[in-house]
């Protein structure tokens, strides 16, 4: 099967930062051959099988050409190294976590504002934080963004903000620090030198040529034939600072009709979907 990507390239990032409307063009589709297979298969119970979902992705120039891919400059053919200017996903993921919300205590709101001030200082002031400057948009390539890894200076800016606010035991800082430590296994406050931070992140790099953190439990029908191939439970890890997702499903079957509304996690897009099968 093929994994096809389109990107919304922002033509006027500087003007947008001054308050103008963004000018956006669509680039793509960029096509990657996706290979899947089940690995680490074992019996979990008399009627349950566990397996890990393995992925491989390969750039497919011919399929990209056949799809009529146009790059951000409106040129054909596309390559995996075409420049694209897109939203900074790390900044977009972190800032909503830090914005004061209704119900925050005055102390929590003050912590968040302090942390945001320090983050902004790092992102915009080279004197305060060396090589931390990055805006709401980044310029990268499809291959770099998805697999090879883009160097996010925002991560270094986050480390600066965490260190600068650690003395106030910032709840916002602790939350981000905890997620980074759980996901990557290091404590930003304990690192001796900010430039040593691993800054490269590819959105799908952790899933390429590995099982990653995606496991399923399916029913083999030995006890109840009606539940044959039901996905009874799954665990899906996702990108960046987001924790893994666990879930159980009361009904998910390819061959019979289920009534009601089901909520499932679509691992390919990292989103929760609601299915109404009434």
Q: pLDDT (tens digit, 9 = 90+) per residue, 59-85?
A: 999 999 999 999 999 999 999 999 999
The last residue of a domain, from among 173, 201, 229: 201
71 and 94 fall within a common domain: no
Cβ–Cβ under 8 Å, residues 146 and 202: yes
Other beta carbons within 10 angstroms of residue 259's beta carbon come to 9
Of residues 115, 238, 232, 244, the one with CA closest to residue 173: 115
Task: Tell the burial category of 188 from Cβ atoms under 10 Å away from its Cβ (0-12, 13-18, 19+).
Answer: buried
| Helix, coil or strand: residue 163 | helix
Confirm whether 51 is domain-assigned.
Answer: no
Confirm whether 50 is domain-assigned.
Answer: no
255 and 272 fall within a common domain: yes
Mean pLDDT of the chain: 79
Confidence label for 8 from pLDDT (cuts 50, 70 and 90): very high
Confidence label for 260 from pLDDT (cuts 50, 70 and 90): low
223 and 189 fall within a common domain: no
Confirm whether 206 is domain-assigned.
Answer: no
Number of domains in the chain: 3
Confirm whether 261 is domain-assigned.
Answer: yes
Cα–Cα distance measured from residue 64 to residue 4, given in angstroms and rounded to the nearest whole number? 8
> Could you tell me which residue, 265 or 146, shows the higher pLDDT?
146
Of residues 128, 113, 240, 104, the one with CA closest to residue 173: 113
92 and 174 fall within a common domain: yes
Cα–Cα distance measured from residue 161 to residue 122, given in angstroms and rounded to the nearest whole number? 7
262 has a pLDDT exceeding 80: no
Confidence label for 259 from pLDDT (cuts 50, 70 and 90): low
105 has a pLDDT exceeding 80: yes
Confirm whether 27 is domain-assigned.
Answer: yes
171 and 77 fall within a common domain: no
Residue 104 domain boundaries: 88-201
Confirm whether 44 is domain-assigned.
Answer: no
Cα–Cα distance measured from residue 75 to residue 71, given in angstroms and rounded to the nearest whole number? 5
Q: What's the alpha-carbon Rg for the chain, to the nearest Å? A: 22
> Could you tell me which residue, 194 or 57, shows the higher pLDDT?
57
Of residues 254, 158, 138, the one with CA closest to residue 203: 138
Give how far Cα 95 sits from Cα of 41, 98, 120, 168, 193, Å.
40, 5, 11, 19, 24
């Amino acid at each position: 099967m093929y994994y096809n990507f389109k990107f919304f390239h922002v033509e006027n990032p500087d003007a947008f930062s001054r308050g103008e409307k963004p000018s956006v063009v669509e680039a793509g589709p960029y096509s990657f051959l996706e290979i899947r297979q089940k690995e680490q298969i074992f019996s979990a119970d008399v009627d349950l099988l566990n397996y890990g979902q393995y992925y491989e992705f390969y750039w497919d120039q011919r399929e990209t050409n056949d799809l009529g891919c146009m790059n951000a400059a409106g040129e054909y053919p596309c390559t995996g190294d075409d420049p694209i200017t897109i939203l900074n996903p790390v900044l977009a993921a972190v800032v909503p976590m830090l914005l004061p919300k209704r119900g925050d205590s005055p102390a929590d709101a003050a912590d968040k504002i302090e942390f945001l001030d320090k983050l902004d200082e790092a992102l915009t002031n080279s004197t305060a934080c060396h090589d931390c400057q990055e805006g709401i948009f980044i310029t990268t390539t499809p291959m770099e963004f998805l697999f090879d890894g883009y160097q996010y200076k925002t991560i270094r800016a986050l480390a600066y903000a965490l260190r600068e606010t650690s003395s106030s035991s910032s709840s916002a800082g602790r939350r981000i620090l905890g997620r980074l430590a759980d996901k990557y296994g290091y404590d930003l406050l304990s690192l001796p030198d900010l430039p040593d931070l691993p800054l490269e992140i590819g959105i799908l790099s952790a899933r390429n040529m590995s099982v990653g953190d995606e496991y399923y439990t399916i029913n083999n029908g030995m006890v109840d034939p009606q539940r044959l191939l039901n996905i009874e439970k799954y665990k899906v890890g996702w990108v960046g600072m987001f924790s893994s997702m666990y879930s159980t499903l009361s009904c998910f079957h390819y061959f019979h009709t289920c009534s009601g509304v089901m909520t499932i996690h679509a691992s390919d897009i990292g989103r929760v979907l609601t299915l109404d099968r009434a």
